[in-house]
Amino acid sequence: MTILTIDNFINNEYVKPSRGLYLDSLEPARAITFAKVPDSTKEDLELAYKAAAAAFPAWSKTTKEHRAKIMYKIADLIESRLDEFAQAESKDQGKPVEVAKTMDMPRVLANFRFFAGSILHSREHATEALGALSYTQRVPIGVAALISPWNLPLYLLTWKIAPCIAWGNTAICKPSEFTSYTAHLLTSVLKEAGLPAGVVNIVYGTGMGVGQAMVEHPRIPIVSFTGGTVTGAKIMAATAPHFKKVSLELGGKNANIVFADCDFEKALKTSVLSGFANQGEICLCGSRVFVEKPIYEKFVQRYVEAAKALKVGDPSLKDTNLGALISKEHWEKVMSYIKLGVEEGGKIECGGQKPASLAEEFQNGYFMEPTVITGLTPSCRTMRDEIFGPVVTICPFETEEEVIQYANDSDYGLSCTIWTENGRRARRVASEIQAGTIWVNTWLARDLKMPFGGFKKSGVGREGGEYSCDFYTELKTICLAG
C-alpha cells in the first residue's frame, strides 16, 4: 500500500517540516499506517506566522463581498468532491462513510456558506448625542491560532476557519495529529478557490511540538480551541500573560432526561442515536440517561434491544452504524471505564467487548460494541467522567427536582436533552439545567445563528452567528463632533 506524505501548508505552498520528521497516521479500522504527517516545531510555526502576518493587511481590507465570494466557492468545490472528502474522513477517523457523508460534510458546507452570508448582512450601530455622531466599527484582530480535535475533523476545523477569515483575519490551523487527511485535501480547495497566499496556513503535529508554541506566541492575539478540558486549562494558563482572546469548547458529560409523558418511540430512537453516534465520540452525546421510574424498565429493555441491533464494523458499508475508535490508547481508555463501571456496582446490559463478528481485515481495528450500563448511582466516576466512547449509563429518577439535581451534579455543562410532552415542564426544567445548549424533544439540531459553548469545565466563550463575530473582531466606537 502506498503511504501518503502530507506536508505543512504555508503561504499556499507545501512545505516540509523543518526537522524533516513525520508522524505515523493510522487508519483506525485496520490499525495500519496510511499517511505520514509532519512532526512540526516552533520553527515551522514561525514560518506560518510570518506568512499569515504578511497576508493580514491586504486580506483585512478586502470587501466583505469579495471574501464571501471566495468562501461560497470553497463550499461549492468541496461539495463537488463530497464523496472523496467523506471517504477520506472515514479512513482517517474511523467513522462510517455514511456518517461522514450525512453529518460531517453537510456541516462543512454550511460553515462556509453561513458565515459568507452572515458578513453580507451584518450591521453596525450609530447614535447622535451630546452634539456628536457616534458609530461603531468592527475590525479584524490579526493572526488567529485555530486548534481542532480528531472526532469531527473537518467539521470543527471549518467551524473555526470560516468565521475567522470571513471577518478578515488570517489563520494558522493545527488539526489533530490523528486526523490530518481532510485538512490536507482542503488545502487544494483553498488554492483553487483563489484564497490569497497566507490567509490560511496549516501546520501539523502534536500539542507539545507545535500547539503549545501557537498558544504561547506573543504576536498571535486570538486562540480558538476545541478539545479536552485538561488541555483547555493549560491554554488558559499559557495565554493569560498575553491577554489573548480565547474561546474554548471542552468536554461534556451530557444528561438525557426522559419523562414518562414523552413520545416514547421518538425519545427512544433519538436517545440511542445520541448515545452512540460517531462511536460516542461527540462532546454532545447524551451518555447519562435518566428515565422516570414508571417507564424505566420498559425503556431499558427497548434501549438495550436497539443498541444490540446496531451494526459495528466495516466503515465503508452503508448500513454500518458504528466504526472504529480513534486509536488503541483511546480504545483501552474506554474499556477501562467499562471495567470501572462493573467495579462500582454497575451491570453491563449489553456490549463491553470487541465485536466477535469482524471481518479478517478489521480484526486489529479499534472497534467496540455499543455498551449500556445500569445500576450505578449518579456519583460514580463512570457517570461523572467523560468517557468519549460508545458507553451509556441509564439511571431511574422519581421527581423533577431529583433529576435536575442529577443533571447538574457534574463538572461539565455543555448540553442536555429533555423528553416530555408537557410544555410547562419543558420550560421549567430547561431553565434550571446548567448547560450551554438545551434540546427539548430533539438532539443535535444546530442553528448556526445561535450561541454555542458550555458552562463550568465545558468551556469558555460562545461562538456561532453574531457571537463568532464578537470573538473574531474588535469593536471600536468612533465619535464625530458636530
Residue pLDDT, tens place only, 181-225: 999 999 999 999 999 999 999 999 999 999 999 999 999 999 999
Residue 123: per-residue pLDDT? 86
Q: Please state the pTM of the whole predicted model.
A: 0.96
Where do the domains of the chain lie, and which CATH numbers do they carry?
A: 4-250+458-481 (3.40.605.10), 255-452 (3.40.309.10)
Residue 224 in grid coordinates: 480558538
Residue 272 in grid coordinates: 440511542
Residue 397's pLDDT band, with cuts at 50, 70 and 90, is very high
- Give 235-277 pLDDT, tens digit per residue: 999 999 999 999 999 999 999 999 999 999 999 999 999 999 9
Catalytic-labelled residue, pool 249, 292, 369, 386: 249
In the 3-class helix/strand/coil scheme, how is 121-142 assigned residue by residue?
CCCCCEEEECCEEEEEEEEECC
Residue 315: per-residue pLDDT? 98
How many whole angstroms separate alpha carbon 173 and alpha carbon 31?
26
Coil, strand or helix: which one is 189? Answer: helix
Distances (CA, A) of 102 to 262, 272, 318, 389, 409: 27, 17, 11, 20, 34
- For residue 202, count CB atoms less than 10 angstroms from its CB and return exposed for 0-12, middle for 13-18, buried for 19 or more: buried
Residue 40's pLDDT band, with cuts at 50, 70 and 90, is very high
How many whole angstroms separate alpha carbon 430 and alpha carbon 428?
6
415 alpha-carbon distance from chain centroid = 13
Annotated active-site residue 249? The verdict is yes
Residue 482: per-residue pLDDT? 76
Residue 81's pLDDT band, with cuts at 50, 70 and 90, is very high
Residue 87: per-residue pLDDT? 98
Residue 122: per-residue pLDDT? 87
Phi, psi of 73 (to 5 degrees): -65, -40
Residue 263: per-residue pLDDT? 98
Residue 474 in grid coordinates: 474588535
